[in-house]
Amino acid sequence: MAERDDIVKFLNKELNVKKIRDSSKNGLQVKGNHEIKKIGFAVDACLETFEKAKKEGCDMVIVHHGIYWKKSYSSDKITNKRADYLRKNNISLYASHLPLDLHNKYGNNIELCRILGLKNVKKFGKYHGVPIGYQGRFDKPVNIISISKSLDKKLNTKSVISAKKVMIRSVGVISGGGISCLEEAEYKKLDCFITGEEYHSSFHDIKESKISVILSGHYATETLGVKALIPLLKEKFNVNTVFIDAPTKL
Q: What is the average pLDDT across 182-186?
A: 96
pLDDT, tens digit, 9 for 90 and up, residues 74-112:
678 999 999 999 999 999 999 999 999 999 999 999 999
Confidence of residue 72 (pLDDT cuts 50, 70, 90): low
Q: Give the pLDDT score at 73.
A: 64
Alpha helical stretches, state H, the chain: 4-14, 47-56, 76-88, 98-102, 108-116, 144-155, 182-187, 203-208, 218-221, 224-237
Q: Determine the Cα–Cα distance for residues 31 and 94; give it in Å rounded to an integer.
A: 9
Q: Are 124 and 131 in contact (CB under 8 A)?
A: yes
pLDDT, tens digit, 9 for 90 and up, residues 43-52:
999 999 999 9
What DSSP element (H or E) covers 120?
A: strand 119-127
**Residue 243 β-bridge partners:** 41
Q: Give the pLDDT score at 46.
A: 98
Q: Are 236 and 10 in contact (CB under 8 A)?
A: yes
Q: Give the pLDDT score at 128.
A: 78
Q: In this model, does residue 2 exceed pLDDT 80?
A: yes
Q: Determine the Cα–Cα distance for residues 138 and 235; give it in Å rounded to an integer.
A: 32
Q: What is the average pLDDT across 27-36?
A: 97
- 131 CB burial (10 A radius; 0-12, 13-18, 19+): middle
- 165 CB burial (10 A radius; 0-12, 13-18, 19+): middle
Q: What is the average pLDDT across 182-190?
A: 96
pLDDT, tens digit, 9 for 90 and up, residues 110-122:
999 999 999 999 9
- Ordered structural domains, the chain, with CATH: 2-96 (3.40.1390.30), 102-218 (3.40.1390.30)
| Total-model pTM | 0.96
**Residue 179 DSSP symbol:** G
Q: In this model, does residue 71 exceed pLDDT 80?
A: no
